[in-house]
Amino acid sequence: MLPYVGLASNPFSFIDIQIFQAGYIERLGTGTSDMVSGANQAGLVDPVFLQEDTFNVTIYRNGYGATDQVPTKHRPSSDEVPQEYRSSSVEVKNLVKVLHGEMSRRDMQKALQLKHEGNFRENYLEPALAKELVEMKYPDSPNHPKQRYLLTDKGQELLNSL
């Protein structure tokens, strides 16, 4: 058996000794350069080394960073949701699901079991209005005391697709 000559902070590290004796390493201190040269020989992107609280190495798989796209031979196995609805958040979709006929803001919040008005307006109502899924009964007077909200045709299409 070859003598162990280690440069680790703990020269008697059990793991270092085992790896050396198993023949996986010839000496310590060459791993980083071995990984870079191995990646280059395999035609891979260079590994990324990051030292923060711990030492991390990211090794990329074959094909990472490739610019050529594989052509699509077949159409998707299922029909996709139209692009204009893909960005609808879960919150907006939930609002569309509970909106039946004309409803007040409070009624919609109750149906969604939400208590915070600001959260409801910011994450549910305003995005739904911006995407024209919901409309106001009195659009010229947003603070109308009898303001109600209803689904647009676009909102109804989204509801039907859910």
Parse the chain into domains and list their residue ranges. 14-58, 83-161
> pLDDT higher for 23 or 133?
133
User: What's the CATH fold of domain 83-161?
Assistant: Arc Repressor Mutant, subunit A (1.10.10)
- What is the pTM assigned to this prediction? 0.47
pLDDT surpasses 90 at 26: no
pLDDT > 70 fraction of the chain, expressed in percent and rounded = 64
- Quick one: how far is CA 14 from the chain centroid? 40
Task: Return all residues near 135 (Cβ < 8 A) that are at least 6 apart.
Answer: 129, 149, 150, 151, 152
Euclidean distance between CA atoms 28 and 13, whole angstroms: 12
**Digit-coded pLDDT (tens) for 99-131:** 999 999 999 999 999 888 988 998 899 999 999
Burial label for 54, CB within 10 Å (0-12, 13-18, 19+), is: exposed
> pLDDT higher for 1 or 18?
18
